[in-house]
Amino acid sequence: MEGLEQTAKLLQLIRERGFHPGDKLPSERDLAALFGMSRSAVREALIRLDTLRIIESRPKSGVYLRPFAAERSIEAMVLFTETDTPLSEDDVVQSVELRSVLESEAMRLACLRRTPVDLERLSQILQASALAVERGETLADLDAEFHKAIVAATQNDVLLRFINVFYLISRKRREVYFQADHQSQRSHAQHLQLYRAIVAQDVEAGQKILRRHIKGVDAYFRMFFAEAHGATKGSAPASKAERPVARPARAAPAKAKVKATAKAGAKG
């Protein structure tokens, strides 16, 4: 935790002092004095940023901010989220776009490659989701688990690693998103449809349902995700009428269709 805190301080310094790509950062000694920490702690934080390709250490020259954002490790966005460092508007928009592309292909592969074990895992998540909805609880975590289980059904571990990054950086925003009235019920109902398409190995239906399912979520993240951290491109904040209203979750009436799980329909 301490190492993460030191890293957060360095990222804050870079942001607040307006360093640009290619700029040289203060020396290790100056940073230690500035933050009142040991040089070893500063060195550890710099190594972390260097590993994620946010900075570049040049022998006998110093430490520089990397010139191209495209060179940074994708895990750098997870670090930014963990340290409450604002993501740029481009980072948000492009990560949402990438997620849509990857999950659409993941749905196709999941329909073709899913195993009985994959179907059982999806069914278990749906059962847990049905109970959560009945109790009026949020599906913020179960929603992520369901989508990652679809990607896992592709049998492509590298694809799962990429998707996992999006769900790590969007965790806090999902918690807010699922506070909206009926959002959990709506999401669960669409998850059931996605599950049935995977069981039937219906690629066309699965991708159509997925596009509809994530369309509203993508619009929400584009508007709210970067805004909450202070988007860097100067985009105008959404008007009050455009913003999703987050309300405390309330107990939903127990209905047979909410309780229903997809297990009975599984044939694979």
Q: How many CA atoms lie within 13 A of 166 on its CB side?
A: 25
Q: pLDDT band at 129, cuts 50/70/90?
A: very high
Report pLDDT for 80.
77
Q: pLDDT band at 3, cuts 50/70/90?
A: low
Cα(211)–Cα(218) distance, rounded to whole angstroms? 10
Q: Is the pLDDT of residue 58 over 70?
A: yes
**Which domains are assigned to the chain?**
2-77 (1.10.10.10), 86-265 (1.20.120.530)
Q: Which of 217, 255, 238, 221 is nearest to 139 (CA)?
A: 217
pLDDT 10s digits, 238-266:
333 333 434 334 444 444 444 444 444 44
The secondary structure element, H or E, covering residue 219 is helix 203-229
Out of 44-58, 68-82, 84-98, 203-217, pick the least confident. Answer: 68-82
**Total residue length of the chain:** 268
Report pLDDT for 266.
45
Out of 53-57, 119-123, 136-140, pick the least confident. Answer: 53-57
Q: pLDDT band at 220, cuts 50/70/90?
A: low
Out of 40-49, 120-129, 184-193, 217-226, pick the least confident. Answer: 217-226
Report pLDDT for 200.
98
Report pLDDT for 221.
63
Residue 56 φ/ψ, nearest 5 degrees: -135, 125
Out of 104-113, 173-182, 223-232, pick the least confident. Answer: 223-232
- For the chain, the average pLDDT equals 79
In our burial notation (b when 16+ CB lie closer than 10 A, e otherwise), range 46-76 reads bebbeebbbbbeeeeeebbbbeeeeebeeeb
pTM above 0.75, yes or no: no
Tokens 């659409």, located at residue: 104
pLDDT 10s digits, 31-57:
888 888 888 888 888 888 888 788 888
Report, as an integer, the average pLDDT of 71-90.
Answer: 73
Report, as an integer, the average pLDDT of 57-77.
Answer: 77
pLDDT 10s digits, 143-158:
999 999 999 999 999 9
pLDDT 10s digits, 88-99:
777 777 888 888
